[in-house]
Amino acid sequence: MLKILYFGKLGELTQLREERVDVPNDINTIEALKSWLNTRHDLDCALSHPSIKTMIDQKLVHTNESIEGAQEIGFLPPVGGG
Amino acid sequence: MLKILYFGKLGELTQLREERVDVPNDINTIEALKSWLNTRHDLDCALSHPSIKTMIDQKLVHTNESIEGAQEIGFLPPVGGG
Amino acid sequence: MIIVSNTPFDAGERLNAFMEASQNAGAIASFIGRVRGEGGDTKSLYLESYADVTEQGIEDATKRAYARWPLTDILIIHRIGTLHAGEEIVLVATASEHRRAAFEACDFLMDYLKTEAIFWKKEITKSGSTWVEPRTQDYTDNKRWS
Amino acid sequence: MIIVSNTPFDAGERLNAFMEASQNAGAIASFIGRVRGEGGDTKSLYLESYADVTEQGIEDATKRAYARWPLTDILIIHRIGTLHAGEEIVLVATASEHRRAAFEACDFLMDYLKTEAIFWKKEITKSGSTWVEPRTQDYTDNKRWS
């Protein structure tokens, strides 16, 4: 089971802030996971937008990395507080 | 009677913060007043130092102005609070 | 001290406590951001964070501030959850012996919080809600420090 | 509001009251200067002003700030008389809709107070007392605004 976190507007689009999913065996990179989740939640490519950053186990990843062994994937729209 | 105010370190040198003086008739400009007060309080030219600013009736003066009709003369060492 | 919390805080009280704890600093700069109490269209905010990731990021930013300016102490309080008009969103306070260091570090940390800190902010008005992203000016401000 | 007074003030309380009075400003910057509570050589300060002349000068500086930045409110509290270690000397707070305006105006007003405001400041330590004049850095800082 992989924990997926949807932040900000992504949480509104998926209508959930987090979920635990059984990822099919052939989904083993970030990009593949995004496509799969886009379809699963009818997100119209929202996760694939270049502004969305990804964290694997709370570390930012900049390329299409493997998700093998990952516990938690976070999808982050543009941030900003204050 | 003319009210004279000595601020900051000048007040320490004169050992008073303010005084009222009868100024002799021939003392009618800022520079003349400074010299007269320097002597009166044994100030060793402290009032004539270029860093000392003068206010006549609470307005800054930049030249050797007449003190005729003045009520209050303030002598100001370099300022700074905060 | 870094606090990310969904509990409202008293800015004046927190600032006094911060000053009490950093007695040797002659200069304390601070910034408070809050939800504006606008006339007609009352606005509330909803703020999300990413647990420890958010706090770790802020912690790293304070380390950069300590490395760059002679600071004795930093306080950052940032609200999450639902905030109503007039409530404080953020308090940043910096203590130093030097006025310029306190001002600049406070300014730097606010720029970090506005553009890089891991928060998401939704503005809710009577006419609807929108997720707010940093303005171009915020990104420009933040580049001053790099 | 401008207050020049020989009565100690509570910075946090004053800041809260200031914020209460300027509800429409989302950004509040502030600076507090105080007598350092140094270890061995305990220091006190003695501050003099020139009555209304001092307040009028500060008032003029706030007018320049209002003309230059979109501010909703300014608070300046400055102590005179004898101040002991740990006591606040000055509080400047600026309220605006814009973060940069609040920061810059606060910074500007502090530069004014440090170099131009009509105050004289004596530092008293165990080893004696000296009248403090602005440092070169203070004058340099102040020139940034002209």
Note the residue count of chain C.
146
Is A82 among the domain residues? no
Asked if residue C37 has pLDDT above 90, the reply is no
Asked if residue B50 has pLDDT above 90, the reply is yes
- The answer to whether residue C12 neighbours chain D at the CB level (below 8 Å) is yes
The reported pLDDT for the residue numbered C41 is 67
Number of domains within chain B: 1
A-to-C residue pairs, Cβ atoms closer than 8 angstroms: 63
Cβ contact C131–A9 (<8 Å)? yes
Asked if residue D58 has pLDDT above 70, the reply is yes
The chain-wide mean pLDDT, for chain B, equals 96
- With residues binned 3-state (H G I as helix, E B as strand, rest as coil), the percentages for chain A, rounded to 5, are 25, 30, 50
pLDDT band at residue D41 under the 50/70/90 scheme: low
The reported pLDDT for the residue numbered C38 is 65
Q: Minimal Cα–Cα distance from D49 to chain C, Å?
A: 21
- Quote the crossing angle between the two packed helices C136-143 and D99-115, to the nearest 10°: 40
The reported pLDDT for the residue numbered C36 is 84
Task: Quote the CA–CA distance of C114 and C141 in Å, as a whole number.
Answer: 10
- The answer to whether residue D29 neighbours chain B at the CB level (below 8 Å) is no
Q: How does pLDDT run across C82-138, given as a tens digit for each residue?
A: 999 999 999 999 999 999 999 999 999 999 999 999 999 999 988 899 999 899 999
**Is this complex scored with an ipTM above 0.95?**
no
Residue B14's domain spans which residues? 2-76
Kindly state the average pLDDT of the residues D117-141: 92
Residue D48's domain spans which residues? 2-144
pLDDT band at residue C42 under the 50/70/90 scheme: low
Is A50 among the domain residues? yes
The partner residue sitting opposite C13, judged by closest CB among D12, D27, D33, is D12
Cβ contact C114–D97 (<8 Å)? no
Is B58 among the domain residues? yes
- The answer to whether residue D115 neighbours chain C at the CB level (below 8 Å) is no
Task: Quote the CA–CA distance of D43 and D36 in Å, as a whole number.
Answer: 8
Number of domains within chain C: 1
Q: List chain A pLDDT tens, one digit each, 82 residues.
A: 999 999 999 999 999 999 999 999 999 999 999 999 999 999 999 999 999 999 999 999 999 999 999 999 999 999 999 9
Per the CB < 8 A criterion, the answer to whether B10 and B46 are in contact is: yes
Is A10 among the domain residues? yes
How many percent of chain C have pLDDT more than 90?
85
Task: Quote the CA–CA distance of A30 and C56 in Å, as a whole number.
Answer: 24
- The answer to whether residue C30 neighbours chain D at the CB level (below 8 Å) is yes
Cβ contact D38–C32 (<8 Å)? no
The reported pLDDT for the residue numbered D43 is 84
Q: CATH code at D75? A: 3.90.1170.40
Q: CATH code at B62? A: 3.10.20.30
Q: How does pLDDT run across D19-35, given as a tens digit for each residue?
A: 999 888 999 999 999 99
Q: What is the strand order of the sheet D119-125 is part of?
A: D81-83, D44-49, D119-125, D128-132
Single out the residue of A8, A74, A69, A19 nearest to residue A41, CA to CA: A19
Cβ contact B8–D48 (<8 Å)? yes
Is A18 among the domain residues? yes
Q: Which residue of D has its CA nearest to C25?
A: D36
Q: Minimal Cα–Cα distance from D60 to chain B, Å?
A: 14
Which residues between 55 and 114 in chain D have a beta carbon less than 8 angstroms from any beta carbon of chain C? 86, 97, 99-100, 102-103, 106-107, 110, 114
pLDDT band at residue D107 under the 50/70/90 scheme: very high
Task: Quote the CA–CA distance of A63 and A31 in Å, as a whole number.
Answer: 9
Task: Quote the CA–CA distance of B36 and B25 in Å, as a whole number.
Answer: 12
Task: Quote the CA–CA distance of C143 and C30 in Å, as a whole number.
Answer: 21
Q: Which residue of C has its CA nearest to D107?
A: C103
Task: Quote the CA–CA distance of B35 and B40 in Å, as a whole number.
Answer: 9
pLDDT band at residue C23 under the 50/70/90 scheme: confident
pLDDT band at residue D127 under the 50/70/90 scheme: confident
The reported pLDDT for the residue numbered D23 is 82
